[in-house]
């Protein structure tokens, strides 16, 4: 690098130090440009140096006549001004020596504020802190909206609106004609007004079919206990994605109908009304607060506690909380043992050998885990002593469930196999079970689950 370039760079450094304190601006020593950022000025000067480099090399590589021309500044030649004290030098070498004297004496250094770098660092830190704060608030808002959508409390409407939107989409796709849309909508509004389920998703005779199957097949089972007769209810277009808790409640009531004086089975909106009525009576205040006292017109999920507190029907139940796995394989053997005890306790005592297949008078059990719920309608005990639960899933379509009613043995076997769950298939961290004990007036206002163990 030649001396002219070196001097210019030195001038730039000094000028930058002074500008930070005095004007907070950076002037180019080679032109009239004023920059507010030192890095921009540096790039600008480097660009000018690259452009002028060929011309300067030609000048420095010329004969002594060029040096003579550059030394005749007093008579109209080029001059060089010190950026620190405005002294005019006749050549670049003199300016270089002069600026170095300034630097040696500490003139430029003393002009720089010692706290400028600290202030810059603090400003950058505050900007980064503010940026992260805004980003965190945005992410929190998005997560909250996601949870609202997941649990059906985002204002999109409940059973009726979802059913109407589903039928509207069917019309727009050409699957349903407008006349059918209006007829089905009128039928839906009539059913909702009555508060009684229309039975469109119900499959009857499931437990009878299971009893016949186990009598003939499944010789690897030494004992099978089945619940009382229970109808299967699956999700419909109006509650798909969020109605499993309500459908399991309907399955439970379908069993109780055969033992208790319930003449009608409520629709999902009616179940929501029943739960809200229990809250107004002061039952389960924590649950009422969680749902903001409102279920009607929403797609809010319900779980074990809401099942227990549907007390407009005065159903007395126990809630058992299997809150953690009790096996190295992250399974719940205590859950399986408890279910076996529940169903086998009503077997006729006094018999020397209990029958291999027993259909008990016990209602089904409501099984809840994160994100879904199902109904336990029986338990198998294999020859090796292992236990296997029989589950009715609201997510199964009527067509799949009705395969249990088939006359074809292989079809029934496949359908039963899909119902069975060994401990290795139930590996959620926590399960809750609701067991109906009968009907009575409840005095307790606060729900407490029994933790096992």
User: Residue 421: helix, strand or coil by DSSP?
Assistant: strand
Tokens of 214: 């186990």
Q: How many CB atoms lie within 10 A of CB 85?
A: 10
Q: How many CB atoms lie within 10 A of CB 242?
A: 21
Report yes or no: 243 and 271 within 8 Å, Cβ to Cβ. Answer: no
Which single residue is written with the structure tokens 């507010």?
36
Cis peptide before 305 (omega within 30 of 0): no
Facing residues of 376 across strands?
365, 391
Residues 6+ apart with CB under 8 A from 208: 229
Cα–Cα dist 133/437, whole Å = 52
Q: How many CB atoms lie within 10 A of CB 192?
A: 18
Report yes or no: 363 and 438 within 8 Å, Cβ to Cβ. Answer: no
Residues 6+ apart with CB under 8 A from 41: 12, 16, 26, 28, 33, 35
E strands present in 118-201: none
SS3 content of the chain, % helix, strand, coil (to 5): 50, 15, 35
Report yes or no: 254 and 246 within 8 Å, Cβ to Cβ. Answer: no
Tokens of 294: 């409102």
The closest of 271, 278, 273 to 252, measured between CA atoms, is 271
CA distances from 453 to 38, 139, 161 (A): 68, 38, 43
- Known catalytic residues are 244, 372, 393
Pairing assessment for the beta strands 221-226 and 357-359 based on DSSP bridges: parallel
Tokens of 228: 């009382």
Residues 6+ apart with CB under 8 A from 433: 304, 319, 320, 322, 335, 338, 339, 365, 366, 367, 368, 376
Which single residue is written with the structure tokens 């797609």?
299
Cα–Cα dist 307/310, whole Å = 6
Q: How many CB atoms lie within 10 A of CB 441?
A: 7
């Amino acid at each position: 690098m030649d001396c002219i370039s070196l001097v210019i760079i030195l001038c730039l450094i000094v000028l930058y130090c002074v500008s930070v304190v005095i004007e907070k601006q950076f002037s180019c020593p080679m032109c009239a440009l004023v920059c507010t950022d030192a890095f921009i000025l540096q790039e600008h000067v480097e660009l000018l140096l690259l452009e002028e480099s060929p011309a300067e090399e030609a000048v420095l590589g010329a004969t002594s006549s060029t040096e003579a021309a550059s030394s005749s500044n007093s008579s109209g030649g080029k001059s060089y001004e010190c950026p620190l004290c405005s002294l005019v030098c006749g050549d670049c070498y003199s300016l270089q020596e002069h600026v170095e004297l300034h630097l040696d004496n500490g003139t430029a250094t003393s002009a720089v504020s010692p706290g400028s770098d600290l202030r810059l660092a603090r400003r950058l830190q505050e900007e980064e802190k503010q940026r992260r704060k805004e980003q965190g608030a945005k992410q929190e808002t998005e997560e909250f909206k996601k949870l609202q959508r997941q649990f059906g409390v985002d204002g999109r409407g409940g059973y009726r609106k979802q059913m109407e939107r589903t039928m509207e989409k069917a019309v727009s796709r050409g699957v349903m004609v407008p006349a059918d849309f209006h007829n089905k909508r009128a039928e839906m509004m009539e059913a909702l007004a009555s508060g009684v389920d229309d039975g469109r998703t119900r499959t009857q005779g499931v437990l009878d079919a299971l009893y016949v199957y186990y009598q003939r097949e499944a010789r690897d089972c030494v004992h099978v206990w089945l619940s009382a007769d229970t109808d299967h209810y699956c999700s419909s277009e109006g509650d798909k994605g969020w109605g499993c808790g309500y459908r399991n409640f309907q399955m439970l009531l379908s069993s109780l109908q055969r033992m208790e004086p319930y003449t009608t089975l409520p629709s999902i909106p009616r179940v929501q009304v029943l739960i809200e009525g229990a809250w107004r009576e002061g039952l389960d205040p924590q649950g009422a607060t969680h749902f903001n006292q409102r279920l009607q017109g929403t797609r809010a999920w319900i779980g074990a506690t809401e099942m227990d507190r549907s007390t407009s029907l005065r159903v007395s139940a126990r809630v058992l909380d299997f809150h953690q796995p009790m096996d190295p394989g992250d399974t719940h053997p205590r859950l399986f043992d408890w279910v076996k005890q529940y169903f086998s306790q009503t077997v006729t005592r006094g018999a020397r050998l209990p029958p291999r297949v027993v259909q008990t008078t016990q209602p089904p059990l409501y099984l809840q885990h994160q994100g879904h719920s199902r109904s336990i309608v029986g338990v198998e005990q294999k020859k090796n002593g292992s236990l296997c639960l029989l589950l009715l899933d609201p997510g199964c379509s009527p067509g799949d469930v009705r395969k249990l009613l088939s006359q074809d043995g292989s079809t029934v076997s496949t359908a039963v196999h899909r119902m069975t769950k060994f401990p290795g298939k139930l590996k959620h961290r926590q399960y809750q079970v609701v067991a109906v004990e009968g009907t009575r007036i409840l005095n307790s206002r606060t729900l407490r689950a029994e933790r096992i163990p």
